[in-house]
Amino acid sequence: MTTNVDREVALPNLMHASAYVNGIPHDLFDYIRSQPGLFWFPVEGPITEHGGVWILTRTKDIREVDGDGERFICGLGLLHPMMMPMEDTFMGDNLMSMDGARHARVRRVIARGFGPRMVAGFEPWIREIVTETLDELVATKGPLDYVPAVAAAIPSRVIARILGVPLEDRPFIVRITTDLFAATQGEAGQDVVANLTRVFQELFDYVETTLMPLKREHPGQDMSTVITQGFDAGEVTLKEALFLHQLIMNAGFETTHTTIGRSMWLMLEDPEIERKTWAALDEVGSGLVVDEFLRYISPVIHFVRVAAVETEVAGQKIRKGDQLAMFFTAANRDPETFTDPHTFDPWRNEAGSLTFGAGPHRCLGAPVARLQVQILFEEMAKRNIRLRMAGEPKRGYSNFINAIAEIPVEVISGS
């Protein structure tokens, strides 16, 4: 099997945020996908054991790796620049960094809180949050930034409510969520760890001394109650319980925020996308429309796995310790899985999207994320809310999330 292992690679550093400043380089991923076997990408520095990373762009290769938690593990790092044995860092107690039986035990505790009965009950209050946010939006005169006004406002309010954070503490939770994301954007592994440790400590103090005692005294239908009861029953340690709070905040905020922000940006920059969106909402409803935005945007760019054993993927020999970067964003444009994958088609009804991953770590919040964005589109359509761009939108700086920083808009119609 030929690979590019010994070839010169004149590509931007796909493992670095600088490769994503102007958007996702889909042409490069298309090129990589068209090459036989797997594509070896050299990365300098101490963060890879073998001086590079395998870049995975095909749906079937990513499904194989993401779906096999025995051959491909998370405990040796999930993301550049944070590749290091997780058990040597504070991140070892984070669900996403766990493998095997420990992962299954901790995941079981929060999976309870995302069961169908629990999520079905979310619909009315999510609609209330969306309605309130849109009331504020249409009441604003003149230009405004859609990111804090809508894209960040809805998921941060939803997450605070899912966790059961009291109203007066919600601004604190919103700030911590933003600080946590900013802290992951450092250049060197140790800086990232130091920055994260500082923000985590602030969050953990609040959860341990305020939120968990409150949930013991006044249990509710919320995730913090579920986690506190799991801790009190001895199912998770205190550290695991604290990290579960953090994970729900982080995993649920930046991703949904990106979906809401980027979908509006796409509609405002491309009248054809806007036309198709309103037409499809009317004809097939919000489910398919939102699924297509999730595929097309792919909020999570990639996660890394490390081979725990010597093995093979796509005919390529993989050494123990090799890193495999699963580019969900590229798989979601794989022509083997999607017809005409670079076209936004909200009538599309094709399964196989990897937006929420696949395998033991697949996203627990997918139904909640979908519900928020669906309700937002439904309410905007019902109230005939239309916007126009009022300045230059700005992307975030990340190799992990297809992040959006600013979208200046003006409301042109709607009640």
The verdict on 100 binding ligand HEM (CB under 6 A) reads: no
* Cα–chain center distance at 262: 13
We find the least distance from the C-beta atom of residue 360 to ligand HEM, in angstroms, to be 6
Phi, psi angles (nearest 5°) of residue 303: -130, 155
Amino acid at 29: F
Number of residues that bind ligand HEM (CB under 6 A): 30
The verdict on 303 binding ligand HEM (CB under 6 A) reads: yes
3-state SS class at 326: strand
Among 147, 203, 236, 247, binds ligand HEM (CB under 6 A): 247
Pair 17, 399: CB distance under 8 Å: yes
We find the least distance from the C-beta atom of residue 117 to ligand HEM, in angstroms, to be 16
Among 113, 341, 365, 393, binds ligand HEM (CB under 6 A): 365
For 320-351, letters b (16+ CB in 10 Å) and e give eebbbbbbbbbbbbbeebbeebeebbbebeee
The verdict on 241 binding ligand HEM (CB under 6 A) reads: no
For 185-208, letters b (16+ CB in 10 Å) and e give bbeebeebbebbeebbeebbebbe
The verdict on 256 binding ligand HEM (CB under 6 A) reads: yes
The verdict on 151 binding ligand HEM (CB under 6 A) reads: no
Specify the DSSP class assigned to residue 344. -
We find the least distance from the C-beta atom of residue 158 to ligand HEM, in angstroms, to be 7
Task: Determine the Cα–Cα distance for residues 149 and 383; give it in Å rounded to an integer.
Answer: 17
We find the least distance from the C-beta atom of residue 6 to ligand HEM, in angstroms, to be 31
The verdict on 66 binding ligand HEM (CB under 6 A) reads: yes
Residue 359, CB-side half-sphere exposure with 13 Å CA sphere: 26
Task: Determine the Cα–Cα distance for residues 241 and 109; give it in Å rounded to an integer.
Answer: 9
Among 119, 358, 375, 411, binds ligand HEM (CB under 6 A): 358
- Part in contact with ligand HEM (CB under 6 A); list of ranges 85-93, 181-189, 232-240, 253-261: 253-261
In the stretch 368-397, what mask flags binding to ligand HEM with x, by CB under 6 A? xx----------------------------
We find the least distance from the C-beta atom of residue 111 to ligand HEM, in angstroms, to be 8
The verdict on 156 binding ligand HEM (CB under 6 A) reads: no
In the stretch 29-48, what mask flags binding to ligand HEM with x, by CB under 6 A? --------------------
Residue where the block lists tokens 């920059």 = 269
Contacts for 290 with CB less than 8 Å, ≥ 6 apart: 370, 373, 374, 377
Binding residues for ligand HEM, rule: CB under 6 A, are 66, 95-96, 107, 159, 162, 247-248, 251-252, 255-256, 259, 294, 299-300, 303, 328, 355-359, 361-365, 368-369
